[in-house]
A = this chain, B = another copy of it.
Amino acid sequence: MVKAIEALFNPRTIAIIGASRNPQKPGYQVLYNLKQKYKGKIYPVNPNADKILGLKAYPSILDIPSEVDLAVIVIPAEKVPKVAEECGRKGVKTLIVISGGFKEVGPKGAELEEQLVSIVKKYGMRLLGPNVVGVYVPKTGVNTTFINPERQGFPDHGPIAFLSQSGAFGIAILDWATMRGIGISKFVSLGNKADIDEADLLEYLIEDKDTRVITMYIEGVEKGKRFMEALKKTTPIKPVIALKSGRTEAGSRAIASHTGSLAGADKVYDAVFKQTGVIRAYGMEELFDMATALALQPPARGNRVAILTVGGGSGVMATDACIELGLNVPKLSESTEEKLRKILLPIASPHNPVDVTGSARDEHLVESVEVLMKSGEVDIIIWIPYFMVPGISEQLVEKFIERVRKVNKELDTPIPVIGAATGGTYTWKQASKAEKLGIPMYISVERAAKAAWALYKYGAWLKKNNVFNDYIEQFRKIIGY
């Protein structure tokens, strides 16, 4: 199995069956996108062309002179079984069937899909799809999507895997993630899931060194038991965050028209997620806000949040948001407040939320975060820097993060730090720098609070499974403190 999935993400050779010279056709665009960064050998298959996009084309997969790890199929549904048969004879490991026209269109398509699956099984191949956008792996350059890069961004390599039952939504997320600066390890569009499904991919991703957090968009899961078992194995090792739609009756009805999945009662999914430690997201921004926090920061040992802010109003709003999520924003001890008082300006507030005020300078934030991290009184820090105020320098981010790393190296349990930066271009230049250096930043305090909640939630799950310290030990190696 692992080999078949490996062939999906890191094949030595790829055949594109249905490669086209016509830029209006997906068979052209798939080849075009794949050519951009993939370093392995690409074989276009098309009986009516000698060359496509500068590559020699072959009449059939059987004519290709070398082994083929992965075949991407982009031809009308009714012709797919014959070609799959040829792939089997050729010894192809894994198929991606992009073509639609199978189970999702009705009984006739379902029959075709069954036929396809039996061929795949006969030859011991594995199949992603049909009816998929395919995969995108920045590190290996494997990209079987068919949207032109003029209209579509492809994110850089990063620690988050994304599995999507909706191809279009997957594409939109890749595009959005590029703009937002979120890196992706592997993207997989699941389509009809005739063979490879979430469980298969989870089993692969548990071991995948490039993936720290697994995110997914799900409409419905057929093999529930197998899914649960895969989740149980995964979540003590890597966080899984799921956006499951069809939460409402009307939503479920819409799923029936979309992927034809049996959405099932939402409370069943909810129970499964709770039992298996999956963190549930209720929207796409939330999904990736939480994933970014878990990718960049260690999970929290508890729910006590310290808020360190340059703007008083933001401190109040962050407090509200934390409390409403079940986090705690505790009063600090006399001695901690005293230490802060010595650092801060007289007009600042050493209570939690700690308000350094708009008159603050870099050192007020840098010294305060150390006091808070070392206090033993809080488990998570949310900092709200207001990069535009005059006393804050352009080097704050570097200074602050250096200090956070230094203190975390000294502590038995590292304290996660995340930030909120409401603002525009200059602010986000600074905030993006912070993210590159490992502190996730959010445009609003409400979103930062939700990300903090995910760090708490996942920490609690690890503790429940008695693997909190193991996870932290691993995470420290990755993160370097």
> With an 8 A cutoff between CB atoms, is A269 at the interface?
no
Check B424–A153 contact: CB distance below 8 A: yes
Query: Would you call A419 an interface residue if the criterion is a C-beta within 8 Å of the partner chain's C-beta atoms?
Result: no
Given A169-B311, A321-B283, decide whether A251 and B316 contact each other with a Cβ distance below 8 A: yes
Contact check, B150 vs A426: say whether CB atoms are below 8 A apart.
yes
Q: How far is the CA of A427 from the CA of B73 in the complex (A)?
A: 28
Within the complex, what minimum Cβ distance (angstroms) separates A314 from chain B?
A: 6
B315 in contact with A151 (CB, 8 Å)? no
For residue A32, which residues in chain B have a CB less than 8 angstroms away from its CB? none
Contact with B along A428-443 (1 / 0, CB 8 A): 1000000000000001
Q: Is A413 an interface residue (CB 8 A)?
A: no
Distance in Å from the Cβ of A150 to the closest Cβ of chain B?
7
Give the Cβ gap from A438 to chain B, nearest Cβ, in Å.
23
Question: Across the interface, which residues of B come within 8 angstroms of A444, CB to CB?
Answer: 283-285
Provide the A400-431 mask, 1 if CB < 8 A to any CB of B, else 0: 00000000000000000000001111111000
Instruction: Flag if B355 contacts A319 (CB, 8 Å).
Output: no
- The docked-state distance in angstroms from the alpha carbon of A447 to that of B147 is 25
Give the number of copies in the complex.
2
Asked if A480 CB lies within 8 Å of chain B CBs, one says no
What count of chain A residues pass the 8 Å CB interface test?
Answer: 83
Interface presence of A53 (CB below 8 A) = no
Residues of B with C-beta under 8 A to A172: 311, 314, 386, 388, 422-423, 427
Query: Residue of B at shortest CB range from A263?
Result: B316
Q: Least Cβ distance of A247 to chain B in Å? A: 5
Instruction: Name the residue of chain B whose CB is nearest to the CB of A165.
Output: B313
- Counting CB contacts under 8 A, is A138 at the interface? no
Return A8 CB to nearest CB of chain B, in Å.
Answer: 21
Of A61-69, A86-94, A175-183, A233-241, which stretch is located at the interface?
A175-183
Chain B hits for A166, CB < 8 A = 311-314, 316
Are B388 and A175 neighbours in the complex by a CB distance under 8 Å?
yes
Q: Is the CB of A389 within 8 A of B147?
A: yes
Given A250-B323, A423-B176; A219-B313 close (CB under 8 Å): yes
Partner-B contacts on A (CB < 8 A): 24, 29, 100, 105, 146-148, 150-153, 164-169, 171-173, 175-179, 217, 219, 243, 245-251, 253-255, 257-259, 282-285, 310-317, 319-324, 329, 347, 349, 351, 353, 355, 358, 386-390, 422-428, 443-447
10 contacts between A and B (CB under 8 A): A166-B314, A168-B310, A172-B311, A175-B423, A249-B323, A251-B323, A254-B316, A254-B351, A283-B447, A285-B443
Q: What 8 A-B pairs come out closest when comparing CB atoms?
A: A166-B313, A258-B312, A168-B311, A283-B446, A169-B313, A179-B424, A175-B424, A248-B323
For the complex with contacts A151-B388, A172-B314, A254-B319, 14 further pairs of A-B residues with Cβ separation under 8 Å are A29-B390, A147-B388, A165-B313, A166-B313, A168-B313, A176-B443, A250-B322, A251-B319, A251-B323, A254-B312, A254-B315, A257-B353, A258-B313, A259-B312
